Amino acid sequence: MDNEVSVKPSSVIVVGAGIVGAAIAYHLARQGAQVTVLEQDSPGSGVTRHSFAWINPHGEFPAAARALRAQALADYRRLQHELPALQIRWSGALTYGAADQQAPDTDEPTAEASTRWLDRAGVAQLEPHLQVLPERARYAPGEGSLDPVAATRTLLDAACTHGARVFDQTRVLSLRVEGQRVLGVNTAAGLHRADQVLLASGCATPALLAPLGIQLPVQASPSILIRVNAPPGLVKTLVSNSQLEIREAADGSLLLAEDYIDAQGPLGPEAIAQQALASIRQLFRGAQAITLRSVEVGLRPMPGDQLPIIGPSTRYQGLYLAVMHAGVTLAPTVARLISQELLHGQTCAELAACRPARFA
């Protein structure tokens, strides 16, 4: 990190009470800032509620995001130590696909993000109900998942114990601007003022910035979250293969993440959910009696270059952005770094590739 002189804000408005906004509010309030969180619906009710919530430092993402994702597991464990009410299921993740069968047989033994290869016998030991076994699979024992709405509420409750105020059902109509400085936000209930306004408002962010002449390239990227009634313990770890991503939720149901293809018809959410049920019955022994509980479409904020957008506005003082895909994975790391920048005047090197200035 490079140190940079800045004025520490005594008050911060966080717009958006998803898991990213909640984590930021907690970190700021814990360090003494006067925090106000404004949420147009209820906490965690937006994209957070539709997240598969896999805490995963690996996967497909731009190389410039590695510095952030590499810290996710350690930051979640630190956060869990600070907040014992934060429930995380450290089940480990089992991933395999066609490409993995020819991949070099090398392990990655680095800290908590370590992975190792398992043969068929090792896979069967981890997932005893898996009846279609791969020749080998990569296992990451340090990875896990959580209930994102419950985690969001835990973070907000903790923020409130440090003096934060949370207003739900409070829609931000516009930013209050004077000259080149953002002074607060306008809501239906009136004006809220603060030294700093931080937008963690996901897909709603571009509309708030447009009146200021800021065009933020963020699209709403739909995805499908499927919940299935199933016998407890049918899936032991988090399993990701070419057919599905599946894990057990806190209430014993199964969660599946699927790509969104069409609004309806043979490639619509309901049809994809039925295909997912067929895949589970094929893959897992004892899954014949599973039933569909729900299928929902969530809209993820997807920056044009797929990198998070994190940092101060280059055009308006008092305005800071925090918009990203993979918000569940990145939330504690991003919140920690943002609090260091806002409250301690530091410039965090891990955020260098994420700055809004790249779109100027």
Domain 93-141+220-302 CATH assignment equals 3.40.430.10: no
In sequence order, the β-bridge partners of residue 94 are 139, 239
3 state SS of 167? strand
Q: Which residues contact 275 (CB under 8 A, 6 or more apart)?
A: none
How many angstroms separate the CA atoms of 25 and 157, rounded? 10
Q: Which long-range contacts (CB under 8 A, 24 or more apart) does 252-256 make?
A: 253/227, 253/228, 253/229, 253/293, 254/227, 254/228, 254/230, 254/280, 254/290, 255/52, 255/53, 255/225, 255/226, 255/227, 255/228, 256/52, 256/225, 256/226, 256/227, 256/228, 256/280
DSSP string spanning 202-233?
GGGHHHHHGGGT----EEEEEEEEEEEE--TT
Comparing 11-83+148-217+304-359 with 93-141+220-302, is the CATH topology the same? no
* Domain coordinates in residue numbering, the chain: 11-83+148-217+304-359, 93-141+220-302
CATH domain 11-83+148-217+304-359 topology: FAD/NAD(P)-binding domain (3.50.50)
DSSP string spanning 48-88?
GGG---EE-S-SS--GGGHHHHTTHHHHHHHHHHH-TT--E
Look up the pTM and report it.
Answer: 0.93
How many angstroms separate the CA atoms of 246 and 267, rounded? 20
| Ordered per-residue pLDDT tens for the chain, 360 residues | 333 334 577 999 999 999 999 999 999 999 999 999 999 999 999 999 999 999 999 777 888 888 899 999 999 999 999 999 999 999 999 999 855 544 455 545 444 458 999 999 999 999 999 999 999 999 999 999 999 999 999 999 999 999 999 999 999 999 999 999 999 999 999 999 999 999 999 999 999 999 999 999 999 999 999 999 999 999 999 999 999 999 999 999 999 999 999 999 999 999 999 999 999 999 999 999 999 999 999 999 999 999 999 999 999 999 999 999 999 999 999 999 999 999 999 999 999 999 999 998
